[in-house]
Amino acid sequence: METNSAFNPPTMEQVRYYFLKLDLDIQHADAFYWYHSISKWKLGSGKEMRNWKVAAVNWIVSFRKAIPLKEMRRI
């Protein structure tokens, strides 16, 4: 079985929908989207991202460590 390993970046609407499903504000989705769009969806190591949803979860976890959830929802 052959798999397609080419990464297809998400649209802003896909990212917003995903973040809203996780009960997060659109501005967090937009920040994630623009940060990764500017870096051409590359990881810190320079490798191409393979799964944007995994990157989104890591982004959210990092934010939650930095800002308590109650405060984050007010931002």
Alpha-carbon span 71 to 53, nearest angstrom: 23
Q: Which positions ≥6 away from 37 have C-beta within 8 Å?
A: 9
Alpha-carbon span 68 to 70, nearest angstrom: 6
**DSSP symbol at 8:** -
Q: What is the pLDDT of residue 71?
A: 56
List the structure tokens of 13: 């609407």
pTM above 0.85, yes or no: no
Closest to 29 measured CA to CA, from 6, 21, 64: 21
The SS3 of residue 46 is coil
What is the per-residue pLDDT across 13-58, written as a single tens digit (0 to 9) for each?
999 999 999 988 899 999 999 999 999 999 888 888 999 999 999 8
